[in-house]
């Protein structure tokens, strides 16, 4: 009796101590990383790989059936699926390093952008958008670690609209209609959402859940949406248009990057080798046979060549994939010739860059969020709930059709981000806003109590492009978003602003005295005039971190880079598998569609080699 009592007392004490050690560890980690992010200097080139690139020797690294470039969302899924076949050998090459406990905290996502986990890109100076940014350059965060952008993103899970994929099919892509791709969305997921079983998957690697609990403001959003005759929907189910609760790629509150969800389950396999801190500098393509035979890469200051006996698969993301293809001679002939890169295939690589412009509106209300100390927030996080589990603090999502037509595809997405915004200290760096705007914003907003409404333009008409700066893999590529070059895009965003204004006039929001805060810019225009709104949009709207389309999928007619098997037109043994292949825009966020593409690609490859 006595013995039992002491044992349980002893266990109890141990438990308490280990719990407080964990809390202290997180407190230290968060304090340290958030401070570092405010000072961190982003790189302006791939200089860390310079010694390797300039090395005189090239060592042979042997041969693998498949060499995959990039362990991001697509690469992590693809490597996991291909290594299910024991006969395949796979080498997965990733420029960045490992994930850690910090990047897995969803609410602190922004800080990763000011660390070595981000490539550090900015767009070239813009003409029509990002006019309020320093040197008119939009920020272009891109994950540089295992899991890629899924390891630093906002963990919002959305698949887009069924009709988006029917459009891919109509372009001439067999096997990519809505009904064709749905099984691949279901395959990857382990859904904790109470949705329609015909649409949702259970038992997959990737966990989807609601971040909890809701703030009371979420109900204001639901009630206000209902007043505007919007239905309440499960937006990844049958009907997308309406208001909804955000679904998130988290598991028990922690980020589920594709490295955590997939690669962690396959890395131990003896037929899969993963190399981090490794930059692929070139896909080697035989000029006679026009077949990819391997890649060159640098790691730890050394240069290597590795052979791919079956295929090279480029999954370097929508910015780096076109860069690598062009460095390897696959791209627009005139541009490559100017840089003296021998042309292997003349294809529109880097063109058709699609983005989702996003505008934030600040709203003051009488709602005051409860004050919760960091210690308690960490305890909540460790128990799988609370503010730290919410990517970008978003709770409410609306997919809205602002045009009066019957297309049933939303034009605008509204994201409702709930205070307090724990990441307010990074706010100044987030958008690269110039001093004038930052000072004005900081004077106006109170991150502790203001609600942020984000308006996303889902189907822009404008197109940008990625192009090379030089023929060296050390140089960053040029990113020209060219957002809002089409007036129609500005006009649709204005409809989005009007929608938020209507929402604020509903009983549900008037009840808490919600009012739009005026930003002290564009003061030469009459407030609420069309010209004023256009000025706000062109100054403040940013890229939504959703680049895609730069190696678009479609028929071999000069407008597309890969066919519907994702093989590069006119080049053998070379595939592109990532967000670059999207031929047209998606009515939602890009991570789930990218994972779908990788799941489908794995099956295409397995079928080709008669394993399916
Ligand atoms: C800040 C941010 C927030 C976002 N928020 C959301 C969200 O909430 N929900 C959502 O659905 N989507 C979101 N997205 C978009 C989504 O995360 C991306 O579209 C998706 O991860 C793209 O996957 P990918 O495989 O195409 O590229 P990535 O995941 O970017 O993977 C590319 C990988 O290749 C590596 N690589 C590149 N070049 C080389 C090279 N030469 N050699 C070796 N390795 C290389 C990179 O380091 C990276 O790991 C967000 C993106 C960002 C950046
Ligand atoms: C939302 O509407 C319901 C039903 O009318 C009501 O009971 C509830 O109080 C409302 N909540 C808010 C925050 O407006
Ligand atoms: C929008 O569509 C509805 C139903 O088709 C129609 O009754 C209404 O007049 C239209 N409104 C405008 C402004 O075109
Ligand atoms: C409502 O908000 C406005 C603007 O923030 C403020 O001036 C006003 O006093 C508020 N009214 C109430 C009743 O709180």
Q: What is the pLDDT of residues 241-271, one digit of tens each?
A: 999 999 999 999 999 999 999 999 999 999 9
pLDDT < 50 stretches in the chain:
1-17
Long-range pairs of 284-288 with CB within 8 A, sequence gap ≥ 24: 284/328, 285/328, 285/329, 285/330, 285/344, 285/571, 285/574, 287/342, 287/344
**Cβ atoms within 10 A of the Cβ of 299, count?**
19
pLDDT at residue 21 in the model: 86
Per-residue confidence (pLDDT) for residue 332, from 0 to 100: 98
The predicted structure's pLDDT at residue 5: 38
Residue 528 is predicted with a pLDDT of 80
Closest ligand, as measured to the CA of 406: 3
Compute, in angstroms, the gap from residue 74 CA to the centroid of ligand 1.
Answer: 8
Q: Which of 367, 511, 513 to mutate to test the pocket of ligand 4 (most atoms within 8 A of CB)?
A: 513
Question: Mind spelling out the 3-state secondary structure of 497-549?
Answer: HHHHHHHHCCHHHHCCCCEECCCCCCCCCCCCCHHHHHHHHHHHCEECCCCEC
List the residue whose alpha carbon is closest to atom 9 of ligand 2. Answer: 219
SS3 130: coil
In whole angstroms, what is the distance from residue 382 CA to residue 385 CA? 8
Query: Which residues are paired to 143 by β-bridges?
Result: 118
Distance 403 CA to ligand 3 centre (A): 10
Q: pTM of this prediction? A: 0.95
Q: Which residues sit with their C-beta closer than 6 Å to ligand 4? A: 364, 366, 513, 515
Residue nearest atom 6 of ligand 4, based on CA coordinates: 513
Residue nearest to atom 11 of ligand 4 (CA): 513
Round to whole Å and give the CA distance between 109 and 247: 16
pLDDT of residue 18: 54
- Is 280 within any annotated ligand binding site? yes
Cβ neighbours of 156 (radius 10 Å): 21
Give the residue whose CA is nearest to atom 1 of ligand 2.
223
- Supply the residue whose CA is at minimum distance from atom 8 of ligand 4: 513
Indicate if 356 belongs to the active site: no
Ligand 2 pocket test, candidate residues 223, 225, 365, 366, most atoms within 8 A of CB = 223
**Atom 2 of ligand 4 has which residue's CA nearest to it?**
513
Distance from the alpha carbon of residue 593 to the mean position of ligand 1, in angstroms: 12
Please give the C-alpha separations between residue 36 and each of 31, 114, 148, 361, 564, in angstroms, as whole numbers: 9, 8, 21, 28, 44
Ligand nearest to the CA of 582: 1
d(CA 504, CA 323): 44
Q: Name the residue of 215, 217, 219, 507 whose CB sits within 8 Å of the most ligand 2 atoms, as the mutation to test its pocket.
A: 219
Nearest CA to ligand 4 atom 13: 513
537 Cα to the center of ligand 4, angstroms: 26
CA of residue 535 to ligand 1 center, whole Å: 31
Residue 421 pLDDT: 85
Tell me the CA–centroid distance for residue 509 and ligand 4, in Å.
13
Q: Give CA–CA dist 69/85, Å, rounded.
A: 19
Residue nearest to atom 3 of ligand 2 (CA): 223
Which of ligand 4's atoms lies nearest the C-alpha of 364? 5
Q: Which atom number of ligand 4 is nearest to the Cα of residue 513?
A: 1
Q: Which atom of ligand 1 is nearest to the CA of 154?
A: 8
Ligand 1 geometric centre to CA of 289 (Å): 32
The closest-lying atom of ligand 2 relative to the alpha carbon of residue 508 is 14
The ligand 4 atom at the shortest distance from the C-alpha of residue 366 is: 14
Q: Find the helix or strand (DSSP H, E) in which 299 lies.
A: strand 291-299
Ligand closest to CA 274? 1
Distance CA 94, CA 609 (A): 25
Nearest ligand, CA 121:
1
- Residue ranges lining ligand 2, Cβ < 6 Å: 219-220, 223, 508, 511
Name residues contacting ligand 1 (CB within 6 A): 69-75, 93-96, 141-144, 148-150, 152-156, 278-280, 315-318, 320, 324, 391, 545-546, 578-579, 589-592, 594
> And the tokens for 486?
């089409």
Locate 210 and state its tokens: 């609601």
Catalytic-labelled residue, pool 507, 546, 569, 609: 546
C-alpha 210/C-alpha 244 separation (Å) is: 11
Q: Whose CA is nearest to atom 12 of ligand 2?
A: 220
- Ligand with minimal distance to 363 CA: 4
- The answer to whether 104 touches 249, Cβ cutoff 8 Å, is no
Active-site annotation holds for 589:
yes
- Given the residues 245, 459, 569, 589, select the one marked as catalytic: 589
Residue 513 Cα, ligand 4 centroid: separation in angstroms?
A: 6
């Amino acid at each position: 009796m006595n013995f039992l009592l002491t044992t349980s007392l002893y266990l109890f004490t141990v438990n308490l101590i280990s719990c407080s050690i964990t809390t202290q560890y997180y407190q230290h980690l968060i304090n340290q990383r958030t401070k570092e992010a405010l000072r961190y200097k982003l790189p302006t080139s791939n200089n860390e790989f310079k010694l390797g690139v300039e090395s005189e020797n090239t060592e042979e690294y042997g041969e693998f059936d498949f060499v995959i470039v990039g362990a991001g969302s697509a690469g992590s899924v693809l490597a996991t699926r291909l290594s299910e076949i024991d006969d395949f050998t796979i080498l997965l090459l990733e420029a960045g390093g490992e994930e850690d406990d910090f990047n897995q905290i969803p609410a602190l996502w922004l800080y990763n952008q000011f660390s070595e986990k981000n490539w550090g890109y900015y767009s070239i100076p813009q003409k029509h958008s990002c006019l309020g940014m320093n040197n008119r350059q939009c920020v272009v965060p891109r994950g540089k670690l295992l899991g890629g952008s899924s390891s630093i993103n906002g963990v919002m899970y959305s698949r887009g609209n069924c009709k988006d994929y029917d459009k891919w099919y109509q372009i001439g892509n067999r096997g990519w209609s809505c009904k064709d791709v749905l099984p691949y969305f279901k395959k990857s997921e382990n859904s904790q959402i109470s949705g329609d079983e015909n649409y949702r998957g259970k038992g997959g690697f990737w966990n989807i859940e609601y971040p909890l609990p809701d703030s009371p403001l979420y109900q204001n959003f639901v009630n206000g949406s209902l007043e505007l005759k919007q239905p309440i929907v499960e937006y990844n189910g049958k009907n997308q248009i309406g208001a909804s609760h955000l679904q998130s790629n988290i598991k028990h509150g922690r980020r589920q990057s594709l490295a955590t969800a997939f690669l962690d389950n396959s890395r131990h396999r003896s037929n899969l080798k993963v190399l981090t801190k490794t930059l692929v500098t070139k896909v080697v393509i035989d000029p006679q046979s026009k077949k990819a035979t391997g890649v060159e890469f640098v790691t730890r200051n050394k240069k290597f060549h590795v052979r791919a006996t079956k295929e090279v698969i480029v999954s370097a993301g929508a910015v780096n994939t076109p860069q690598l293809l062009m460095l390897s001679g696959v791209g627009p002939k005139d541009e490559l010739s100017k840089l003296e890169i021998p042309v292997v295939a003349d294809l529109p690589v880097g063109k058709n860059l699609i983005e989702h412009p996003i505008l934030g509106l600040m709203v003051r209300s009488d709602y005051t969020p409860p004050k919760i100390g960091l210690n308690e927030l960490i305890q909540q996080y460790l128990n799988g709930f609370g503010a730290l589990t919410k990517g970008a603090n978003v709770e409410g999502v609306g997919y809205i059709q602002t045009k009066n037509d019957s297309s049933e595809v939303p034009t605008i997405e509204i994201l409702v981000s709930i205070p307090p915004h724990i990441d307010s200290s990074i706010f100044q760096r987030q958008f690269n806003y110039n001093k004038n705007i930052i000072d004005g914003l900081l004077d106006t907003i109170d991150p502790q109590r203001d609600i942020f409404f984000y308006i996303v333009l889902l189907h822009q008409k404008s197109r940008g492009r990625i192009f090379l700066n030089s023929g060296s893999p050390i140089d960053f590529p040029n990113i020209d978003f060219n957002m809002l070059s089409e007036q129609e895009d500005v006009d649709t965003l204005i409809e989005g602003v009007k929608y938020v204004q209507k929402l604020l006039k509903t009983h549900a929001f008037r009840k808490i005295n919600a009012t739009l805060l005026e930003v002290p810019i564009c003061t030469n225009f009459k407030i609420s005039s069309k010209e004023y709104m256009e000025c706000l949009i062109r100054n403040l709207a940013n890229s939504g971190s959703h680049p895609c389309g730069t190696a678009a999928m479609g028929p071999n007619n000069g407008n597309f880079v890969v066919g519907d098997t994702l093989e590069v037109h006119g080049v053998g043994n070379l595939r592109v598998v990532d967000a670059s292949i999207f031929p047209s825009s998606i009515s939602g966020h890009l991570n789930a569609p990218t994972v779908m593409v990788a799941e489908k690609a794995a099956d295409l490859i397995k079928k080709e080699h008669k394993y399916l």
